[in-house]
């Protein structure tokens, strides 16, 4: 006969999930204004996947926002490529997706 660990029987199966949720909530309430704040808010909102570069990088976001009213998405992509290193660049489709989310009020 197989024995079960008595520690596992002492608490309900959903208790671990509630504990993780409390930790996530505490992390978002105590978050400072760092780039990690956007990641914490993303996790707290229970959104699948990971947030995009524009949402995580405040400097890149400000750069794109400053050019939205006067440039096309292709022109913004070219400006980002000229001003940012390769690991911080973003594509035309990513700019468009972020812009659509902004229009819907999701970001």
Average pLDDT, the chain: 77
Biggest alpha carbon distance in the chain? 73
SS3 string of 15-62? HHHHHHHHHHHHHHHCCCCCCHHHHHHHHHCCCCCCCCHHHHCHHHHH
* pLDDT the model gives residue 38: 74
Q: What pLDDT score was predicted for residue 18? A: 53
Tens digits of per-residue pLDDT, 45-78?
776 777 889 988 999 999 999 999 999 999 999 9
Residue spans of the domains in the chain: they are: 20-51, 53-107
Q: Each residue of 3-33: pLDDT tens digit?
A: 666 555 555 555 555 555 555 555 445 544 5
- Asked whether 80 and 68 are in contact (CB, 8 A), the reply is no
99-107 long-range contacts, Cβ below 8 Å, gap at least 24? Answer: 99/68, 99/73, 107/55
Instruction: Indicate the SS3 state at residue 83.
Output: helix
């Amino acid at each position: 006969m197989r024995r079960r660990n008595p520690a596992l029987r002492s608490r309900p199966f959903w208790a671990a999930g509630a504990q993780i949720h409390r930790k996530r909530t505490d992390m978002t309430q105590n978050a400072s204004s760092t780039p990690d704040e956007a990641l914490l808010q993303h996790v707290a909102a229970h959104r699948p996947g990971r947030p995009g570069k524009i949402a995580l990088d405040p400097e890149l976001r400000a750069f794109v926002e400053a050019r939205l009213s006067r440039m096309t998405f292709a022109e913004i992509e070219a400006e980002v490529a000229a001003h940012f290193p390769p690991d911080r660049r973003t594509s035309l489709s990513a700019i468009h997706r972020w812009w659509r989310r902004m229009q819907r009020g999701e970001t």
